[in-house]
Amino acid sequence: MADYLVYWKSYWKDIVEPAGITPDWSSNSRAFYTRVKKGDRLWVLVSGGESSPQEWRLLHCILVERRSLKATKWGRYRLLGTRASSALYKLEPQPDFAAIMRLLSFAGGHRIKVKGKAIGKALQTRGFRPLSEKDADLLLAYSSTLPRLASR
């Protein structure tokens, strides 16, 4: 099982009702699509929004159940999870996730050294960042402290 950090850049423009978010991820990266397997986890980050654009939040943990070539407006390759095996987190009570991101070593050992909005560019370089096992353990522990958002 592998873990990946992904960034939903357009979250604040795309979402009207957070409880309606589905446990899937779309991308135009064929490399990412072919790399991710059933049982892998996607950790979805978003910015702090209009009120906190320099900050970051953990939105979702998706446990991948299958892949699909059914295109969406976000990309032609889809990775799908189930609501039962995924977690959607409330954004409002969360502190800035940037401090946690600076602790991550990633699978390649290239840490995030930038701050604020520049973190988004660091995450978008390839559309995903593979995490190390230590990183995955850290995110599991951190996410267990976050309140979840009930999904439909």
Q: Domain boundaries in the chain? A: 3-143
Tell me which residue of 147, 54, 50, 126 sits closest to 97, measured CA to CA: 54
Burial of 107 (C-beta count, 10 Å sphere; 0-12/13-18/19+):
middle
pLDDT in tens, 39-79: 999 999 999 988 898 999 999 999 999 999 998 888 999 99
Q: In angstroms, what is the C-alpha Rg of the chain?
A: 14
Return the higher-pLDDT residue of 137 and 53. Answer: 137
Given a cut of 60, whether residue 152 has pLDDT beyond it is no
Model confidence, pTM: 0.92
Task: Find out whether 106 and 9 touch, Cβ atoms under 8 Å.
Answer: no
Which fold would CATH assign to domain 3-143? ph1033 like fold (3.10.590)
Q: How many helices (H) and strands (E) does the chain have?
A: 5, 7
